A and B are shown apart, each in its own frame.
Chain A
């Protein structure tokens, strides 16, 4: 994609927003594999304002988790090639030294993992795991760190938090474990939270409680967040803005209301159609015909074209750029050539 056309900002950001906390430009991630390079992320750009929640949605394999992990520099260094720039809180994440990187990880940006039963160490207590992170980032005594760990557990409203400090992950329910994971992430008061499908491992009723808690704490602390989900209902509920990903690219982005009310990209429309059924809440992305392209052999032109009902001959020629279109931004030759039926008020 063409950086100059965007004049230094990601498209879809034409609306004036407060100072940007995070700014990602032309991020691309390739993994070495025996089948050749896997192009997991291909030129992703977005901005995130302080206190803003961005939702990344898309089918599984579209590069959402890889994007988040790149933001934390968590991808295996030896087999991964990352290009582009990532600025968070004024710091260039791509060029952080080891020491600064360890300050950044957990301190500036914290991650909430999909499955806390895997992401927590099974042989350390919850209290130990939160306290050691606190001591890594703040110069406090052991007892002070433990006191703060307790505060963090109380903040996420874990019942009998004091006893829970000494519990091991396997002694807690899935919902409690995810609350503990959230406490761990928020204990260092990060400026950016990366949450990778934080509730998919939980029961439906617990999912909503945990989501609402996360949303509440995020607003209370004024933290920004990037929220990966393939639940459009969740996205509508908690995100300010949405970026729809397909084959490692953002194909449509804008405010949550815009994108979900009047999707322009055929992929977004297909996602909506396959899940809408009257209500969007709780529906998963499913039943979309065909499968995503092989990321080791991306086709020329639009990656969605093989599954697209509106594909035309020109779609094979060039990768569509993400361009402003009727209030948000879309990367589709066909949509860009059509006048939107209804102008969406800004």
Chain B
């Protein structure tokens, strides 16, 4: 088991390194000159050189990368070009907001998706299965922001039940109904895709597992529906868990449009601003943190797998 953990860890390090290199090289992949955002168009050659030196852009690229990585490891992601604030602090504020939104959306999506997936899996091939699968495909294919706008139109504008913008008064970890009410619409919007994806995976897992010989074996020894379901759940849990883990990662990074629609001050909104303002350090930092979060999440999922599946545990 310990060897398994070490192996997963050893596997993750090169991935993390490659991801960081990719994030860094964004500056050079993005069209245009990163300096044009900060400098007036008529800046003199001297000013340009000066600013370049300030940002360390006059060094060879690999050296720049090593310096950037070294600082990043110490929690220093540089300063935002647009407002001069520390990128790490900006991300720190935003990531709490995004995490809360993503966790809620993932839980909602997982619960809904798993429930519908189980029903559809048991009813495999029936009209109910086809209906639920259609709903799931709709959930995956409907554009996020469009769903968000519709929900706002109905619940905020027409019914005036829920707030449409921002994250409410106080910090991200204040617990009150008022505060929570700000979370509802963006979380529901964001949960559509994971709900659809989880539903489709769980449906396939349930239908396949129900066909497997060990289920016949359980029935043949006289076990009732509840016991068969318990065995089924234990068998599909590892895979379902992995699917949700990946979805949580996507939610952290993929909520740019939804956070923008709801003006939710998370990493998505931060990214949006960074792109709009060509704020390279902010962009690099945010993407790096999100990518690392994704890698970490996969690692956690991998580490949790053996708790559910004895075949991984003992091999």
Residue interface bits B286-315, CB-to-A below 8 A is 1, else 0: 000000000000000000000011110010
Q: Does A107 belong to the interface (CB within 8 Å)? A: yes
Of the candidate stretches B29-37, B83-91, B154-162, B211-219, the one touching chain A is: B211-219
Determine the residue in chain A with the shortest Cβ distance to B221: A106
Q: Which of B11-19, B138-146, B165-173, B223-231 contacts A (4 or more CB under 8 A)?
A: B223-231
Tell me the complex Cα distance, A121–B228, Å: 10
When the two chains form their complex, are residues A102 and B217 in contact, meaning their CB atoms are under 8 A apart? no
- Of the residues B227, B309, B311, contact of A136 by C-beta under 8 Å: B227
State how many angstroms separate the Cβ of A28 from the closest Cβ of chain B.
21
- CA gap between A100 and B311 in the complex, in Å: 35
Q: Contacting A104 at CB < 8 Å: which of B222, B231, B234, B314?
A: B222
Is the CB–CB distance between A136 and B217 below 8 Å? Answer: no
* B64 is an interface residue with CB less than 8 A from chain A: no
Q: Are A168 and B220 in contact (CB under 8 A)?
A: no
Contact partners of A132 in chain B: CB under 8 A? 223, 227
B214 touches A119 (CB 8 A): yes
Contact with B along A221-235 (1 / 0, CB 8 A): 000000000000000
Asked if B221 contacts A168 (CB within 8 A), the reply is no
Q: Are A136 and B214 in contact (CB under 8 A)?
A: no
Interface of A is mostly: helix
| Known contacts A72-B220, A136-B227, A137-B222; A123 and B213 CB within 8 A of each other | no
**B124-138 vs A, Cβ < 8 Å mask (1 yes, 0 no):** 000000000000000
**Interchain nearest-CB distance for B13 vs A (Å):** 30
Residues of chain A with a CB closer than 8 A to B218's CB: 121
- The verdict on A133 contacting chain B, using a C-beta distance below 8 Å, is yes
In the complex, the answer to whether B214 meets A105 with C-beta atoms within 8 Å is no
Chain A residues in 8 Å Cβ range of B217: 111, 113, 119-121
Let me know if B82 is at the binding interface, CB within 8 A: no
Contact of A123 with B309 in the complex, beta carbons under 8 Å: yes
In contact, B221 and A123 (Cβ under 8 angstroms): no
B235 at the interface (CB under 8 A from A): yes
- Residue A260 CB within 8 A of the other chain: no
Cβ-neighbour of B216 out of A101, A107, A119 (below 8 A): A119
Report the separation of the CA atoms of residues A105 and B219 in the bound assembly, to the nearest whole angstrom: 7
A74 within 8 A of B: yes
Q: Which of B211-260 contact A (CB under 8 A)?
A: 212-214, 216-224, 227, 231, 234-235
Query: Quick check: B310 and A168 within 8 Å, CB to CB?
Result: yes
User: How far apart are B108's CB and chain A's nearest CB, in angstroms?
Assistant: 27
Is the Cβ of A122 less than 8 Å from the Cβ of B223?
A: no
| Across-interface contacts of A113 in B (CB, < 8 A) | 213, 216-217, 220
Q: Is the Cβ of B234 less than 8 Å from the Cβ of A124? A: yes
Q: Could you tell me the distance between the alpha carbons of A188 and B212 in the complex, rounded to whole angstroms?
A: 24
Cα distance A335–B314 when bound, in Å?
60
State how many angstroms separate the Cβ of A149 from the closest Cβ of chain B: 12
Interchain CA distance A121-B235 in the complex, whole Å: 8
Instruction: State the Cβ distance, B208 to closest chain A Cβ, in Å.
Output: 13
Residue A14 at the B interface, CB < 8 A? Answer: no
Per a CB cutoff under 8 Å, which of A115, A118, A136 touches B221? A136
A110 within 8 A of B: yes
> Of all chain A residues, which has the CB nearest B310?
A168
Q: How far is the CB of B114 from chain A (nearest CB, A)?
A: 18
Partner of A110, one of B216, B219, B221, B224: B221
A74 engages B219 (CB within 8 Å): yes
Query: What's the nearest-Cβ distance from chain B to residue A320, in Å?
Result: 34
CB of B220 within 8 A of CB of A124, answer: no
| Residues of chain B within 8 A of A74, CB atoms compared | 216, 219-220
Query: In the complex, what residue of chain A is closest to B313 when comparing beta carbons?
Result: A168
A274 to chain B, nearest CB (A): 30
Minimum Cβ distance to chain A for residue B228 (Å): 10
**CB-based contact B214/A102 at 8 Å:** no
Tell yes or no: A184 within 8 A of B by CB. yes
Residue A286, interface by CB 8 Å: no
Question: Please, which residues of chain A bring their CB within 8 A of the CB of B310?
Answer: 122-123, 125, 168, 170
Known: A136-B227, A168-B311, A168-B314. Is A123-B219 also a contact (CB below 8 A)? Answer: no
A152: min CB distance to chain B, Å:
12
Would you call A294 an interface residue if the criterion is a C-beta within 8 Å of the partner chain's C-beta atoms? no
Task: Give complex CA distance A219, B220 in Å.
Answer: 22
A237 at interface by CB-CB < 8 Å: no
**Are A171's CB and B235's CB within 8 A?**
no
In the complex where A118-B214, A132-B227 touch, is A170 in contact with B220 (Cβ < 8 A)? Answer: no
Which residues A147-204 have CB closer than 8 A to chain B? 168, 170-171, 184-185, 188
The answer to whether B213 and A105 have CB atoms under 8 Å apart is no
Asked whether B235 lies within 8 Å of A105 as measured between CB atoms, the reply is no
Cα–Cα distance between A26 and B222 once the two chains are bound (Å): 26
Q: Could you tell me if A118 and B223 are in contact, using CB atoms closer than 8 angstroms?
A: no
Closest to B309 in A: A123
With A124-B234, A168-B314, A171-B314: A118-B212 Cβ-Cβ less than 8 Å: yes
Q: Does A240 contact B (CB under 8 A)?
A: no
B311 contact set on A, CB distance < 8 A: 122-123, 168, 170
A75-97 to B contact mask, C-beta < 8 Å, 1/0: 00000000000000000000000
Contact A105 B222 (CB under 8 A): yes
Complex partner residue of A133 from B212, B223, B235, CB under 8 angstroms: B223
Residues of B within 8 A of A105 (CB): 219-222
- Give the distance to chain A from B313, nearest Cβ to Cβ, in Å: 9
13 cross-chain CB contacts under 8 A: A72-B220, A102-B222, A104-B222, A105-B220, A118-B212, A118-B214, A119-B217, A121-B234, A121-B235, A133-B222, A170-B310, A170-B311, A185-B221
Extra A-B contacts (5), CB below 8 Å, given A133-B223, A136-B221: A106-B221, A110-B220, A119-B217, A168-B311, A184-B221
| B interface, CB within 8 angstroms of A | 212-214, 216-224, 227, 231, 234-235, 308-311, 314
The 10 closest A-B pairs by CB, nearest first: A106-B222, A106-B221, A118-B213, A119-B217, A105-B222, A133-B221, A102-B222, A111-B220, A168-B310, A121-B214
